[in-house]
Amino acid sequence: MAMRPPSHIILATDFTARCDRAQDRAVQLAVEWNASLTAVHALSDVTHTDDTSVRDAYRKAATRNAHLLREELACTEGLRSFVIVDEGRVEDVVLAAAAKERAELVLTGIAGTGSLIGSTVTALARTSPLPLMVVKKKVLETDGRAAVASDLSDSSKPALMVALRWFGFRRLELFHAFDAPYRGLVDDKIAYDSHFEEAAVEQCRDFIWDVAGADAVSKFEVIAQRGDPVTGLQVLANEADTDLVIAGTHGRTGLMHVLLGSVGSRILNDVTCDVLVVPSRSR
């Protein structure tokens, strides 16, 4: 994984208002990191009809929207930006552009309604070999917190390194949810929980030391809580001014399984802040 922040960012956009927050975040990060930004639009609608006139209309609309976006991005001083339109499935077009541009991060907005993450976001989260940021919050001028959600497995190490290498200037947290076995059999549950919490905090600090060295331990506020990890992350996002949750794609608890198991899907759906999914083998 690169020792520095990304030098090239991909923004997956459908040219609608749903992607406005993702676009703002992509521009903010590109300027902050002095990175190039490529906005990618997949013209997937043309595959849904055999009517030539309809297909041409889709293409003309995409060309017009791409031109408008180029003009909009050009207004940001110092931003190196490009806009690509290609035909095919969204995940195929986006990841092909990322490979061609040697990008190191993909951003996208939320697609779908209610509590359901859209199929495009899910497909990207499942298949992207690069870190994927799902943007939910408006860009604010703040030094907000970034929380690494970790089960302390080897597969969650890249997520911690991304936090340090890309967002080390922020207030960093390491969040770990644990179970207290046989809790129902003890009378003093508060003392029992406290014992396991102290042990979990020490395990978290040892994990940080093992992954990034002794100096990194002081950069993280360790939060170890008994119970459901998604509920704990929701509290961080809503009450602790956490504006980014970083999670790996694998791990012994399936925190963000490659097929997006129940916990991973709930993080993407229910945590109100931005979520950065880091594959266990990011480059």
* Packing angle, helices 262-270 and 119-127, rounded to 10: 130
Out of 64-73, 115-124, 219-228, give the one with best mean pLDDT.
64-73
Give per-residue pLDDT as tens, 128-162.
Answer: 899 999 998 887 656 678 999 998 988 889 999 99
281 compared with 275, residue with greater pLDDT: 275
Does residue 282 carry a pLDDT above 60? no
Average pLDDT, the chain: 84
Which DSSP string corresponds to the chain? --SS--SEEEEE--SSGGGHHHHHHHHHHHHHHT-EEEEEEEE-GGGG---HHHHHHHHHHHHHHHHHHHHHHHTSTT--EEEEEEES-HHHHHHHHHHHHT-SEEEE---SSTTPPPHHHHHHHHH-SS-EEE--SPP-SS--EEEEE--SSGGGHHHHHHHHHHHTTSEEEEEEEE--TTGGG-S-HHHHHHHHHHHHHHHHHHHHHHHH-HHHHTTEEEEEEES-HHHHHHHHHHHS-EEEEEEES--TT-TT-TT--HHHHHHHHH--SEEEEE-TT--
Q: Which fold would CATH assign to domain 145-278?
A: Rossmann fold (3.40.50)
Give per-residue pLDDT as tens, 66-91.
Answer: 999 999 999 999 999 999 999 988 89
Does residue 40 carry a pLDDT above 80? yes
Domain with CATH 3.40.50.620 in the chain: 8-134, 145-278
Model pLDDT, residue 115: 37
148 compared with 179, residue with greater pLDDT: 148
CA distances from 91 to 10, 19, 40, 277 (A): 12, 16, 10, 15
Model pLDDT, residue 82: 97
| Mean pLDDT, range 113-134, rounded to an integer | 73
Does residue 258 carry a pLDDT above 60? no
Which of 55-59, 116-120, 207-211 has the weakest average pLDDT? 116-120
| Mean pLDDT, range 22-39, rounded to an integer | 95
User: Which of 3.10.129.10, 3.40.50.720, 3.40.50.300, 3.40.50.620 is the CATH number of 8-134?
Assistant: 3.40.50.620
Q: How far out from the chain centre does Cα 15 lie? A: 20
